[in-house]
Structures are given as C-alpha cells and as structure tokens.
Chains A and B, each alone.
Chain A
Amino acid sequence: MATTGLGFALFGPRGERDTLASKGRLVLDYWEKWTGHEGAAMQRVVDAFNASQDRLYVRYLVTSAIHQKAMISILGGSPPDIVGLYAFNVPSYAESNAVLPLDELAARAGLRIDQYAMGMRPVMQHGGRWVATINTGGALALYWNRALFREQAEALKARGIDPERAPRTIAELDLASEVLSRTTDGSALGKGPLARAGFLHMEPGWWSWIWGYHFGGTLYDAASDRAGAGGPEVVRAFEWLQSYPQRLGIDHVEKFRSGFGPYGTPQSAFLTGEVAMVVQGPWMANLIQAFKPDLDYGVAPFPVDTPLYDPDNPMTCIDTDVLMIPRGAKNPEASMEFIAFTQRQENVEALATAHCKGSPMVEVSEQFLSKHPNRGVRLHTALASSKRAYVAPATPVWTEYKDIFDTTMQDLWKLAEPAATRLPVVQARAQKLLDDAAELRRRRGEA
C-alpha cells in the first residue's frame, strides 16, 4: 500500500499547467457548472479574456456537483483559482473561510458594490464583507403559457380572470389554475387522471422555501438569529400549497408528475403544455428557445397574497450564479483580474444574452434589452432592483435548513401531515441548528 502510494506520488499523473495556448503565461483554473449552450457562452468570455492580454491564461473546467467538489478541493488544499457557484452557497462558504474576501481585491480591480442591482447586493456580501461577484443574475418569475390562456379565454373571463395577463395574486393564480387544469377522461378534478395542470408547486419544485415570502412571511430573522419556518404566514403558504394535491387528488398528481421529462429536455412539463404556469428563472427562455421556439409565453412577477399586491414593488426571489476566489488560490490578484473582466458591462450583457438572463448590474444598455431573446428581460432586470426582492437566508446553516425544508415540502405535498403541525417542528429543528452554530461560534471565540 505504501509502495503504491509512493509510486503514485512520484510517477502519478500531473496537472497539465502549460499547454501550447498558454505558453509562458500564468494558468488559472476556473471551475464552473455550465455545460452545453450555457457553457459555450462562458467559454467565449474566457476566450475573450485570454485574447485580451498575454500574461494570464484561464482554463474553463466544467464540474458537476460543483458546490460539493469545490469545497472538497479547498479543504484538500488544491482549489481552483476561480469558482462559479450558486447564490445559496455564499453564506456557508464565507462562514467556513473557504473563500477570500474581495473588498480590497475588487477595489483594486475597479469594481464597486453599488454597480450591482439592489437585489443582488445581499447575495454578494456576508458578515459585512464582500465575498462574491454576480456571474449571471436570476430573479424568479411566473412563466405562463399564453396560448393555453387564450384557449380557455371564455372560461377564464367567466371566473373574472383576464386571459391576456398573468395572475397577480394568489387568488387569481388559484382560479386560473383551476380553469386550465384538465383530466384525461373529462371527469371532475381530483376524480380522474390529470392531463394538464394549471400550476403545480412541485414543477420544477427547486425552491421549496419561497412560498412563505409571498404571504408576507420570512424564514430567518438575521437580527435576532431566529428561524421563522413556523410563522403564521409560512403556515398559511403551505396550507395553500397543500390545497393543490387535495383538490387534484394526490395519487393523480403524483402519477401525472412522474411522467414529466427532466428540466433541460423538450419533455419538461412547461414545454409540453402539461403545466400552464411555472415559477422559474430567466434561463427558462433559453430552454424555450432551444426546444419550443414557437411557444407563446409570458413572464410576470410571481403572485402574492392579495393584501401584499403592489405593482411598483413586485416580490421575487433572487437566485443567481456567483464567482468567488477560493481560499488557497495561488494568485488572487490574477483571479480578480479575470473576474473583473467578466463584470464589464459588455461581457455581463453578452453572457446574460446567451443565457437568456437579465443583467445583475445597475447600468443596462438599451441594446441589451431590445435585442434580448427573453421576452421577459425587462421584467427580470426590474425585479433585480425591486425593494421586495429577497435572497436565501444569510446563515451558515442554510444548506441544512434548506434540506429540512426540501424534505418537508415533499411530505406536505404528499399530505403526510398538516402544515400547521409540521412547520412548528421544522422551526424548532432550524432553531436548534442556529443555536448550535451560535454556541460553536462562542466556543471558538468568534461570537
């Protein structure tokens, strides 16, 4: 075993740091999650950087399950020079010292936090320090199938819903969903197999925790370090969520859902018309463009509970991709130089256009908005600056808290338990996580 280990250390594979293209330059490894069309767009930005100067050479390396592998590489002392992660990773990475603070590096590279849209700024900072820049901005919205709304125009009008616009409140969403839902045999909803659903919280179901915010609740109060999962607004939101499988019949819904193709394929439910409205980010337009360019869709703020409706301040969850410099990166200044290049308006807008996303910056060119392939780009860009934009709770235990929520949402969706009894339990578990983390910080002298 020792001989094998020694042999591997002496003669084993080596990282290829010096290729023909990079000859004589400092090579920077950039780990990113994007493949396919999105990866190719980022590769173009990387190529532009490599062509813009002759000192640095960035290698774009696609990494699956990047938020876990990046952490392992940092823990192992062999991190990439730049890593592209998700917004929800920022608190845990920052709290565990896995990334470098950018305050001084960014300032030297000419970046300022006020260049970014209001809603993006909380994602970029943790504990009062700047730790991440925004790679591409994402603000969640309601994607709705205009064609299906028109097809059911009379029925929608009969229920007081304007078929030419998206629902604005939860009550309108419920009515529209009911009108648009269909069973295969024409029986009443809940009595037969589903052929189409107006709206399903579980499609795609990636954001188990957002619903409470649209009823005025919150999951975490940073000032008091208290969890809010059991708050009355959150409970009401999940009771609303449970009303869908109750009305449609949980067995019918689950069987219906099991036939949806995965996201990223032409068989995904919104593209096939099996679900008429979904909560999604701007990347949805990319999928539509690739697989169903003739789909007539609209983009609107995700509805809120009626008393919360405010057309000037729509509510949205900010879910972005971020760039960070891992602790242990050998040349942080060089890494920052590349990051700063990606943050130039022309590069941000080129990447955002290719990804069908909005811009995370305050300054947005009219050309970007007018030629953008996502018909909802103006909305997505406006949402990023909304006063009521919210981000994942900025606590280092969020990953675990969210995992609890993910499991809870699935159980509540399957009507395993009433929301009113389950969510206080979730709150207690989440609070214990927060208290334990606080106690550990105290023991470490970090409190």
Chain B
Amino acid sequence: MSKLLTMRAAIAELVQDGANVALGLQLEQMIPFAAGHEIIRQKKRDLTLIGPISDILFDQLIGAGCAKEIVAAWVGNVMMGSAYNFRRAVEQDGMKVFTLTNFTVALALQAGAMGVPFLPTRTALGSDITRGNHFFHHILSPFEAKEPLWAVRALNPDVTIVHVQRADREGNAHCWGNFGVMVEGVRAGKRVIVVAEQIVEPEVITSDPNRTVIPGFLVNAVVECPYGAHPSPVQGYYKRDDAAFRQYHEHTKTKADSDAWLERWVNGVEDRRAYMNQLGGCRVEELGVKRHAYAAQTDYGY
C-alpha cells in the first residue's frame, strides 16, 4: 500500500499540536529541514522537540513559536556556535529544556525502541545534568554490590521524522552516511514520516537489504522531497551549504532579524521547490556532487 503523501499532507495529518517530535537524529547530516519548515508554515504549537544535537533546525522551530520544550543534548549552530532563538527562549522566556547527553538521548530512544522503561549507564555520574532531571534515576546494579548507575527513562516520540536517500512507496528505506540515533528514533516513534530524496521501486530496496535502515511497516507517511535536507548534506546527493549556516548565524542575532529570516525562507515560500528556486540555480549546482564515489559491488548471490 502506497503511503506517499505531499509534505503538506504528511505534516498536517501526523504532527498534532502538543506532540513530541523527534527530528535531526542523524546529527549534522540529513536534517529534515523541509519537514521542519512545513511545521512552521502550518503554525504547529506546543511541540516538544527531541534530538541529540540540533544544528539550527530547533532554533528555527523555536524562533517560529512552535516549541514548548526541548529534550536534547546540544542546541546551536555547529560551525558557528550559539543559536540565538534558543538562547532568547531559554534566557528571556524561560523555555523548559531537559538537558541530556548524546549517549543518554541514544539510550532513551533505544529503551523506547525496546519497549522497556529505562536503560542503565555509567555516563554522567557526578554531572549536574542529572540534577532535577526526570530522565535520570539513580539505581544500583541488581547483579553487583554497590554498583551505582543511572537509569535513563525511555522516550517514545509521538512522531519521528527522518530524511533518507531513497525509499519505496511503503516506506522501506535505504540510507547511507552516518545514522546517529535515527534507527532507535524510528523504532521508538509512535508514528514515522520518511522524507526521501527519491522514491524507488521495492526491488531497489530488496537488492541491498543491508542498506535498509527502516522497514516500511513502521512508517506512516513517505514524502518525496529532493533537497529536503538543505542546508545539511545528503551523501551522494548534495554537500553541506556552509554559507547558509554562516548566514543564518549573522541574520538571526535579534528577534526582528530572525522573524525576517523566517518570512523570507519559510513562510514566504510555498514549499521546498519554491525554496530551492529562491536559493538559485547556481547555488544548487554548486552544492551538487562533483565527483561520484561508488561503493564496491556487493554480491548477495548464493
């Protein structure tokens, strides 16, 4: 059964006001910016944003007023440093942030994926991150005497949104590059939106099952959206648009500047196609693959 939807329909149907939304799970790669921008255009409100690090997408959602609270290890602009909407929201508006670490975000999602209430870890013993933080509970190992550990509470996002290179119409998806916590996030998600650069026939997926990171039965919607991760990179499709991250940093230092940026790049464009047109053909061409690098053939024969 085809689950192909437009981005507009997928976000309208699957992201409700007040939802816990996990996105940006592959860290700096394949960040679902097009989906995030559609969330902004549809004026979704009171979202809890979940991710390990967020390289400016959370900042945009916060600036647009979509977020109520954040569950993350790091929110900023990776090459430039701080992200200003996040800072304004926390420093001036008292937005709630549940601070985790990268590893404990992975553990929380993995616990959710496994259907257990928590997973134990030795990280963050002695760190203030755990203080007054309901994601952490001090426990003793049941198997060794006096072995303290942190139990990290399971996270099951209402919606997990990921970007991949290719998927079939049912949501079986191939991805290559770094995964971060995407596989855990998809398994933990109550609903899943897969955004793909390309929709392919099922035979393409089953020709290389080791590259399948998402089985379609976990997926609620598949969206075909070329350049949907810009300005983050998609291996084999386009590189990182470093200038865009620099410009975002420069153009969002004040609330008024940030509003203008959102008007120009999000609310002022209808969809990703219009966004790419605004970016301009030269820039898009410049970001494209200049030298292909194909992997060695893989023989699944027997």
A and B are partners in one complex rather than unrelated chains: no
Chain A contacts to B: CB under 8 angstroms: none
Chain B contacts to A: CB under 8 angstroms: none
